[in-house]
Each structure stands twice: as C-alpha cells, then as structure tokens.
Amino acid sequence: MAKAIWNGVILAESDTVAHVEGNAYFPRDSVNWDLLKDSDAPVTFCHWKGFASYMDVVVDGEKLPGAAWKYNEPYEESALIKDHVAFWKGVEVTGGPEGRGQVEASPSLRSGKCGWEALCWLIRHSEKSELDAADIVANTGLTEDKFAAAWQTPDVQRYAKRYRWTLESSQPLRLTHSEGNPVSV
C-alpha cells in the first residue's frame, strides 16, 4: 500500500495510485483533506498534463508550502491523474510503484494546443538549435506581434530556462538553443 507521510502523519494512503513520471498520484478519496490547505504557490503548466494547482501540507501547526499538487482538468494524454493528488518537497512516499510509470508519449503530440502552451511544447521538443518566425508560427500559431506576450508568460520562461532557449532577436524573431542537459528550475 502506498502512503504519503510528513512529520509522522499519513497524508494519503491507497492500494491504487496513478504512477506518472515517477510520482504516485493518490486518489482523491484516499487523501486526508484536513491536512491540506490552498496554497499561494502559482499554478504551473505542463505541456502534456495541463495546469497544476498546489496545496500546503499542515500538520500540528507546521506548514510545508506547496507540497501537494493536482491537475483539476488534465489533458487527455494524462487523464489517469484526474481526481488524484501527488506530493513532494519532503513528503515521504512509501510503498508506491518503482520506476517512471506513465511518461509523455514519444513522439510527443501537440494535441491541438496553440499560443504559449504550444510554445512550451516547441521549446521542449524542437530538435533544431535555432527557431525563426516561420518555425514558431507553424508550430504555435503565434505571429510575431503576439510572440512577446507569450514569451513573458511565467511557464514559457520556466521552459526556456530549463531547456536552454534564449530569445536572440525579436526583429526578426529568433530563438537559439544552448547545448547541455536540462537544468532544474
């Protein structure tokens, strides 16, 4: 049986967890909701799972900010995590499955996403070392006049930093990729 534990207290416990990208996602009805509170942590975006919202774990008055998360409306590719909660940031998960579990399909599909969401996908999956306006429009639907706002989106900036992309020029539009492994952000 998988358990999520912090400060000696069981936060969630279940025989049936969804296993995605190495994380155990506990079914909603297996979570002790009295120990989770809405968090001030910003919503984050994953190009194949969707938008994650965070909760603080609170045990005996001690708070672990943003240590639980859920996807309220996960994309179709990761539908098995709907109505599930995962934990991190010091929460110990025991008895869960080993390995990575379900991961992003390869090749990854844009699945009709456009705008800044598709820009995250492009930054993550482009095999090119340089992208110009034509590449960006073809893969995201973003025209040069809409690109600046999309580029400033916090999740696009997080993806750009993680996957080593830099805006080299806005006129003409050009992104460049630096060699190396993804960095933690």
Domain boundaries, the chain: 2-94, 115-177
The model's confidence at residue 30, banded by pLDDT at 50, 70 and 90, is very high
Crossing angle between the packed helical segments 115-125 and 154-162, to the nearest 10 degrees? 0
Cβ atoms within 10 A of the Cβ of 149, count?
A: 12
| pLDDT, tens digit, 9 for 90 and up, residues 41-85 | 999 999 889 999 999 999 999 999 999 999 999 998 899 999 999
CA triple 86-97-9, angle to 5 deg: 50
pLDDT above 90: residue 111: no
Whether residue 159 contacts residue 124, with contact meaning beta carbons closer than 8 Å, is answered with yes
The model's confidence at residue 160, banded by pLDDT at 50, 70 and 90, is very high
Considering the domain delimited by 2-94, tell me its CATH architecture.
Beta Complex (2.170)
The model's confidence at residue 113, banded by pLDDT at 50, 70 and 90, is confident
Which of 155, 14, 1, 5 has the alpha carbon at shortest distance from 84?
A: 14
pLDDT above 80: residue 144: yes
Which of 145, 103, 146, 143 has the alpha carbon at shortest distance from 124?
A: 103
* Mean pLDDT value across residues 30-37: 98
What pTM did the predictor assign?
0.77
Please give the mean pLDDT across all residues of the chain: 93
pLDDT for the residue numbered 185: 78
Share of the chain above pLDDT 70, in %: 99
* Mean pLDDT value across residues 91-98: 96
